[in-house]
Structure 1
């Protein structure tokens, strides 16, 4: 539901700034220390070797998450090429190759969707759930139109948690952590065999710490309490025969961030020392359940069913002007419920032809209860408040499939397509500073996206691919602001051309990925001044395509006791011809997106950078293993991530604070392994860079400062 451009959105995404956090999983099994581990990707509904799959992707195992100090989604930007994540508490802008989410409201869907244990999570919100007891995280770059469908124009993230092993033994781990900011955390998991055909795994995570902020002003006692996380997961696996496997997972998450303090974007003070007079609060609470059943027929074809249910509620309070003067309060409480069902038929991995066919359905509804959403300038009077209540139901249905055909023993042609149909409806009642407005409005769209790829396996160590892929993100509805029912905004579409080379060298000691891409990006959804009367903000589509192109690389190497991993990307973006009125500048003169004309507040944006599209991202990690005479191991590690400057708006106005400066983040740790106990000293943001994690509504939100401490994990 679209609110005016200067407002925060109607649904809260709170993102975990819990810094270093815990070990992710039990220690990995013994491996060949002279080679880089083989990495598996599950994006195409079957497990395939990443080095022989035509996808640009970063796959991070649970053990690697621990080594890199990654416990939440916003830290992925420091280990994934071409990814940038701006965390502003009321949502995140997750963009890959400059495409994803740029407007902070619930009606504008994400372009980088997250799957957890095979089901698509809430579309763009409730993503602050920490990574604990994780098997792997897969970050796919570029449109994933065939298998993921809508909301994957920029890419997709697959988070896979650990499963118990049927017929295995009792095993698990327990871990504890102490850190600065009075950070105390505990985490653990246990797998329990329950007979010959049944097994269970229980995992938990709990953390609390003090706030990063020093707040002066009337709000010091409200919204600065720090973080409280409580998470639990139950996994049940039933395997009565070799042909049938049933996996049930249910998660509970309570994420209380205390608040997301912020101040005006051009404030000269330290971003952690602010003033505020309105109360602050940020809390997400939700459950997610997934039921997956796989049955293998005698002919080797697998039938898979994945059913999902999610229910969450979120509450948020903020000081909209970020000062101790004036009184500008935002508050919302939103409930969201999602049902999903996916069915697959998957051919065997053998043979000249491999195929997948599927169908998908998802129903999602956001509910805004009466009296639970308002902007008060100041609050307390119907003439100084904007209030909203109602519902926003959405539906998505799709059918999809992909066929791979081996033209020769080394050359394969892949063709995939997906047809999607979406609807969104607003049943909304608004009281706009005393003016009642009712909205009963729907928008529908349909789309066919897909991929055609040509894959050449030169030999077991070299794989080359080229493809054309398309992606699609639905449009949505603008909430009325006094001008009647505004027109819906349309969908975004992207066509990508990509070539890539994946290689292995030195007998498996070095593995690399290199790719180049070109995107034709149409219909970018953006908030500008209402074209006919720019007093109000309005969301519409860029009328001309944006060009985006770049190159990326990744490398992993193991040379004896020395391990190195690195990645990087260079990208350029250029907006097509587009006239727009900056909604922060008062105006009443029309500014047509196609013709302008250029005038006070009306700008020609042709050739400007896409938002949240930094030119350069880079990362490197280095560790060395020392083995002592008694068998103990000492492993120091250093990680570095870099994100170059980026623009938060298309208007690129430095005087208004539109520039987000570069991020240089060093993480370090020193691990001592003694038997089945690992003790680790850690530090994140080692140089204590005070950087801006996001800009929204004229406010700046700081990224996390330096955190350090000790954690101890024991496996059993």
Structure 2
């Protein structure tokens, strides 16, 4: 509560969800801008150009200029400008997308995001890379709620549209800039627009950035490169075509993790943290934010307190993480004025190659080597017929992913070799009928037919300790844990052959089954190494009709009210998990009422939105236990939720040089039904409710041929869904002869929120207040620019993800600490 009062009283230290200083790609000014009012941003979220204030949909939008000023260089920072959006990183190239509690913790090669990521009008099936996406950006649009009519494929939670600047005819312009900050952060960027005759123009952009790791152990480091080239041809006054190609790489370590503690088995302990499990908190020297897994004190704490069942060998030998990922794509946009209608065709091809190793959740190592290729084409025909504005469209998407993955958790390893194919076809239509000059009825419909297949081999390798003392758990201190490798052969080849007294699995015609493992004792082998294959060859598909109905009324030319209902669905899919090989589609219905208002000659903008979402069959991808008892990452349908709330944002031009802006979102997101089953790993001789799940939810034990637990998290708040998000801020401009100095003081309050799937009492992120500030020297026309900035001024430690990994080691991933720097540039 103290932080809430600080946030609300410091009215000049936060940031709006809809920044004011946006310009379109051609530097056009509206009459309001020329009259000295607030600048107007043009959006295309409804597949047509309109001002943000005229778009009768739930949307946040921000210009590329403001993104640069506020330090938003990738999607993980977009919560600064879109309070509903959370994008936590979980390791390697895995990022999760949540809008108002709807989303996934991570997206691997065979899962689909709940939030559609669109770059330059192209849906990105594997949204791992955000480097090229945020290069030479014109604007970013964040749409909230299902996008069931105009967007495909699986936009149940919303959509993020990143729109780059495009070539300009007859204009020679460009810019160069360089930035340096703490953590030895370096960034250089160059952009040039080249006229190539009266009807042809090119635009080239590139950026390179690197920094040291945020964590003391060196993790959190990055080295990124992004390039984009575009050509624009005006074929005739009625036809034009734009070609675009981009290339980017991401290197470094990927995000780091901090060790929070270990959950140890404590059966029938009255004061256990959760039933039968006692949390041993790591000492302050380990838990201090940004210490890192590989700090000596962290590794020592884990070795002294954690034991990975069922091998029960020392938990040592974490492999250091790395990233070496590559992405590229080509796309085109063809526009043709047919007189009575306009035709737009967007073909695209993209490819990503991942090669990364990570430790979060605390794995000995997770390795991803995935190659994804996608082809898509979208066509839209639109026009006006009297009072009717209409749009017809068709969409085709074809994606194939081939991957080799390995997830090593010391005693268990999952080796995965998979190939997936997805084909999605959709047709859609939208119409807006003006009943009167001020009142419109809007309708949209989309039919989607998706087919998918998978051909995969998943090998579970498990080390089982056979030494069971009379008192205490099994113990095999002389048996090594399983080495890190991409394949079973690569992993076992690192072991001394003498560890297999009856012969190595590599020497067997079939490397599956149980093999004596470890030094040979008086009673025989100390352990077994068990290799179990799971072949998954399946095909499936879904088809669905989604639709939208809305009413829009212009109370005055500057005041809009609207109400809408929209449906959305996300297709089902496959898991490489024994007993959980498939999951079903999810569905969402969204009700929205809103109002957008401009007052005092557009010197004040005040917008309001109230919403209610009914979510069923909800998919959630997270770490769990498969039906053999092995830890696994998979998607499951957990139930349904009710999501309701309201959002208000404003911006006010108090004087010609003073801008006040802010926003408040209240969110009540609760799981009405959140139920799933988990296998019981206890023996038949163990008493009931003995080896219980590590969860903060209720559960019941199911006794039978296969013991299991039904875990019930119903009534819990949705993940990454704080009740309150408050953004407030001030921007002051000081006018000089040839320059203006722009000073901003921005910040954000977020109430406590759940950031871990297990709802553990140790996994709440708490509330936080962050403050950003900048001072920029900007020429009225072209020339030298300079700025100094600080982000997270108070160095707030903000958890973005909480995970329980191998040996029940709990870890946290943090948003960036305090960063500061200086940026200089020249525009011509």
Range into which the TM-score falls when normalised by the shorter chain: 0.7 to 0.9
| Contact kept in structure 1, 2:176 and 2:191, CA below 8 Å | yes
Matched with 1:461 is: 558
Q: Determine helix, strand or coil for the equivalent of 2:103.
A: coil
Matched with 2:331 is: 290
Cα distance in 2, alignment partners of residues 67 and 551 from structure 1: 28
Cα distance in 2, alignment partners of residues 494 and 173 from structure 1: 44
Q: Determine helix, strand or coil for the equivalent of 1:498.
A: strand
CA shift in 2, pair 1:190/1:620, >3 Å = same
| Contact kept in structure 2, 1:78 and 1:618, CA below 8 Å | no
Matched with 2:815 is: 703
Show the 5 A alignment for 1:400-479: 400-433=428-461, 434-479=531-576
Cα distance in 1, alignment partners of residues 671 and 200 from structure 2: 55
CA shift in 2, pair 1:475/1:457, >3 Å = same
Q: Determine helix, strand or coil for the equivalent of 1:523.
A: strand
2:274 is the alignment partner of 1:271: no
2:608 is the alignment partner of 1:514: yes
Match of 1:397 among 419, 422, 425: 425
Match of 1:491 among 577, 585, 596: 585
2:372 is the alignment partner of 1:260: no
| Contact kept in structure 2, 1:185 and 1:205, CA below 8 Å | yes
Cα distance in 1, alignment partners of residues 683 and 667 from structure 2: 35
Q: Deviations over 1:97-128 (max 9, x none)?
A: 22122455433311111111110113443335
Which piece of structure 1 moves more, 307-316 or 91-100?
A: 91-100
Match of 1:694 among 785, 801, 805: 801
| Contact kept in structure 2, 1:535 and 1:587, CA below 8 Å | no
Show the 5 A alignment for 1:359-374: 359-368=394-403, 372-374=404-406
Cα distance in 1, alignment partners of residues 398 and 441 from structure 2: 34
Match of 1:352 among 371, 387, 395: 387
CA shift in 2, pair 1:89/1:587, >3 Å = farther
Show the 5 A alignment for 1:639-658: 639-649=746-756, 651-654=758-761, 657-658=762-763
Matched with 1:671 is: 776
When normalised by structure 2's length, the TM-score is: 0.76
Cα distance in 2, alignment partners of residues 529 and 384 from structure 1: 13
2:241 is the alignment partner of 1:246: yes
Structure 1: give runs of 5+ residues left out of the alignment. Answer: 1-22, 216-222
| Contact kept in structure 2, 1:213 and 1:224, CA below 8 Å | yes
Matched with 1:625 is: 733
Show the 5 A alignment for 1:451-600: 451-481=548-578, 483=579, 486-526=580-620, 539-543=635-639, 545-559=640-654, 560-581=656-677, 597=700
- Say how many residue pairs are matched: 664
CA shift in 2, pair 1:92/1:587, >3 Å = farther
The CA deviation at 1:271 is 2.8
CA shift in 2, pair 1:585/1:504, >3 Å = farther
CA shift in 2, pair 1:535/1:178, >3 Å = closer
Match of 1:237 among 232, 237, 240: 232
The CA deviation at 1:42 is 0.6
Matched with 2:88 is: 86
CA shift in 2, pair 1:82/1:225, >3 Å = closer
Q: Deviations over 1:388-428 (max 9, x none)?
A: 11211111110001111111111100110001111222111
Show the 5 A alignment for 1:180-259: 180-215=182-217, 224=219, 226-259=221-254
The CA deviation at 1:318 is 2.1
The CA deviation at 1:178 is 1.4
Which piece of structure 1 moves more, 259-268 or 245-254?
A: 259-268
Cα distance in 2, alignment partners of residues 104 and 612 from structure 1: 16
Which piece of structure 1 moves more, 355-364 or 83-92?
A: 83-92
The CA deviation at 1:681 is 0.6
The CA deviation at 1:558 is 1.7
| Contact kept in structure 1, 2:258 and 2:290, CA below 8 Å | no
CA shift in 2, pair 1:290/1:585, >3 Å = farther
Matched with 1:122 is: 125
Q: Deviations over 1:55-105 (max 9, x none)?
A: 111111122222322211111112213222222234222211221224554
The CA deviation at 1:613 is 1.6
Q: Determine helix, strand or coil for the equivalent of 1:686.
A: coil
CA shift in 2, pair 1:92/1:289, >3 Å = same
| Contact kept in structure 2, 1:265 and 1:695, CA below 8 Å | no
CA shift in 2, pair 1:33/1:598, >3 Å = farther
Q: Deviations over 1:182-230 (max 9, x none)?
A: 1121111111111111110111111122122212xxxxxxx74832111
Cα distance in 2, alignment partners of residues 88 and 479 from structure 1: 19
- RMSD of aligned Cα (Å): 2.8
User: Which structure has more helix as a fraction of its residues?
Assistant: 2
Match of 2:171 among 169, 183, 193: 169
CA shift in 2, pair 1:452/1:387, >3 Å = same
CA shift in 2, pair 1:517/1:577, >3 Å = same
Cα distance in 2, alignment partners of residues 587 and 186 from structure 1: 60
| Contact kept in structure 2, 1:396 and 1:423, CA below 8 Å | yes
| Contact kept in structure 1, 2:119 and 2:133, CA below 8 Å | no
Matched with 2:354 is: 314
Q: Deviations over 1:558-584 (max 9, x none)?
A: 231001221221011222234335689
CA shift in 2, pair 1:274/1:534, >3 Å = closer
The CA deviation at 1:129 is 4.1
Cα distance in 1, alignment partners of residues 590 and 148 from structure 2: 11
Q: Determine helix, strand or coil for the equivalent of 1:81.
A: coil
Matched with 2:345 is: 305
Larger radius of gyration: 2
Which piece of structure 1 moves more, 531-540 or 301-310?
A: 531-540
CA shift in 2, pair 1:208/1:307, >3 Å = same
When normalised by structure 1's length, the TM-score is: 0.87
| Contact kept in structure 2, 1:70 and 1:76, CA below 8 Å | yes
The CA deviation at 1:587 is 8.9
Cα distance in 1, alignment partners of residues 23 and 90 from structure 2: 25
Q: Determine helix, strand or coil for the equivalent of 2:91.
A: coil
Q: Deviations over 1:622-653 (max 9, x none)?
A: 1111113x343222111112332221345422
| Contact kept in structure 2, 1:212 and 1:226, CA below 8 Å | yes
Q: Deviations over 1:217-259 (max 9, x none)?
A: xxxxxx7483211111101000021100101111110111323
Q: Determine helix, strand or coil for the equivalent of 2:151.
A: coil
Matched with 2:157 is: 154
Cα distance in 2, alignment partners of residues 639 and 586 from structure 1: 53
Matched with 1:35 is: 37
Cα distance in 2, alignment partners of residues 533 and 579 from structure 1: 20
2:729 is the alignment partner of 1:615: no
Q: Deviations over 1:464-488 (max 9, x none)?
A: 000100111111112143x5xx451
Which piece of structure 1 moves more, 615-624 or 399-408?
A: 615-624
The CA deviation at 1:130 is 5.6
| Contact kept in structure 1, 2:90 and 2:106, CA below 8 Å | no
2:372 is the alignment partner of 1:336: yes
Cα distance in 2, alignment partners of residues 452 and 342 from structure 1: 23
